[in-house]
Amino acid sequence: MSVQQIPTGKIIDGEEVIAIELTNSKGTYVKIFNYGTIINKFVVKNANGEMQDIVLGFDTFDEYLDPAYLKNYPYFGAIVGRYANRIKNGRFTIGEESYQLAQNAGTDTLHGGVVGFDRKVWDIVEIGEGAQSFVTLQYESVDGEEHFPGNLIVDLTFELTENDELILSYEAETDKATAINLTHHSYFNLAANGGNIKNHKQQIFAANYLEQDDNYSVTGKLIPVEGTPWDFTKSKAIGTDWNEDEGYDQTFVLDKIYGDLSLASKTIEEDSGLVLSVYTTEPVAHLYTAKYLGVKNGKGGKDYESYGAFCIETQHHPNAVNIPEFPSTILNPDDLYTQTTIYKVSLNK
């Protein structure tokens, strides 16, 4: 197991952007930038003995800053915060205090606002080698940033195991009650040559999904998946029941005990033989099949098009800050926010 730090030569807001590579004895490795905690590479051996990168991204760091990429910004491989997905009308209330956020998705707030945690340089606070290789990154979001209350300190640890598990462990503390809902936004494709993911087989351990309005904002209503195109309780090709013009962009309420680490999602690509299993302590998983993806000159000069990837975004219920029936997304000063999500890669045997 090894950890390597690689300077990019890029300085943003006075902070140096560093690439961190975690490698295990099998040759599996993950490359992470401390800018936005971007997972730039996740390279594993497929069933054909080939080393294969299963996440979308760019060959160089500078390409993540390209205005053409940011114009239709898909959050490639980055953390999302302070608040994942949408907050209806960009408003919420804590106690007697109301907060109005930037409305960057129609009338709603998306993924933390105009400049979220994905556009910040994080501090490297700890690195370890041994049975597991890991790096801990930290960011302090000041009171009022994107109009959220409280000084919030977030630690995110990436740990690579010998079992080809990438473990993401989050912790956060605040000095004032605030809304928080973190996730990571990697775009996966398990096919050796990429392309449309409609033939990937998908299973999600959820009997219900969340109703959304026309702007994809959660309303508070749970809908049973049985008898609908959103039924992934048994493994099926992603394209089996989808609307080809829409794909999937839906939040699934996991069948689990709240807070327990359990299997949320399993994706299989038969030609590569790769399986991606996602375990989480979070109550929901959001499946996004990248309808709006349109990125030129990705890795190897490849263009990434609609349905060229899938995301499994583990989090609390979107818009929960406005829906009291949902598990709370309010963090108080005496509490510790924690979350664990594991991306485990294996072979379909």
**Alpha-carbon separation of residue 331 from 35, 150, 152, 334 (angstroms):** 24, 10, 10, 8
pLDDT tens per residue across all 349 residues of the chain:
789 999 999 999 999 999 999 999 999 999 999 999 999 999 999 999 999 999 999 999 999 999 999 999 999 999 999 999 999 999 999 999 999 999 999 999 999 999 999 999 999 999 998 777 999 999 999 999 999 999 999 999 999 999 999 999 999 999 999 999 999 999 999 999 999 999 999 999 999 999 999 999 999 999 999 999 999 999 999 999 999 999 999 999 999 998 999 999 999 999 999 999 999 999 999 999 999 999 999 999 999 999 999 999 999 999 999 999 999 999 999 999 999 999 999 999 7
What does the alpha-carbon distance between residue 299 and residue 59 come to, in Å, rounded to a whole number? 5
**Alpha-carbon separation of residue 122 from 32, 77, 156 (angstroms):** 11, 15, 10
Do the Cβ atoms of 115 and 78 come closer than 8 Å? no
171's enclosing H/E stretch is: strand 165-174
Residue 184 bears catalytic tag: no
Which entry of 21, 269, 282, 313 is annotated as an active-site residue?
313
DSSP 247: -
Q: Which residue has the tokens 């760019």?
A: 58
**Alpha-carbon separation of residue 188 from 39, 49, 55, 170, 191 (angstroms):** 11, 19, 5, 21, 9
DSSP 108: B
Q: What is the pLDDT of residue 132?
A: 76
204's enclosing H/E stretch is: strand 201-204
Domain extents in the chain: 49-114+168-347
Strand 91-94, strand 123-128: pairing: unpaired
What does the alpha-carbon distance between residue 285 and residue 251 come to, in Å, rounded to a whole number? 6
Q: What is the pLDDT of residue 108?
A: 96
The CATH number of domain 49-114+168-347, selected from 3.40.50.2300, 2.30.29.30, 2.70.98.10, 3.40.50.300:
2.70.98.10
Cis peptide bond prior to 82, omega within 30° of 0: yes
Which entry of 184, 185, 200, 317 is annotated as an active-site residue?
185
Residue 185 bears catalytic tag: yes
Instruction: Provide the whole-model pTM.
Output: 0.96
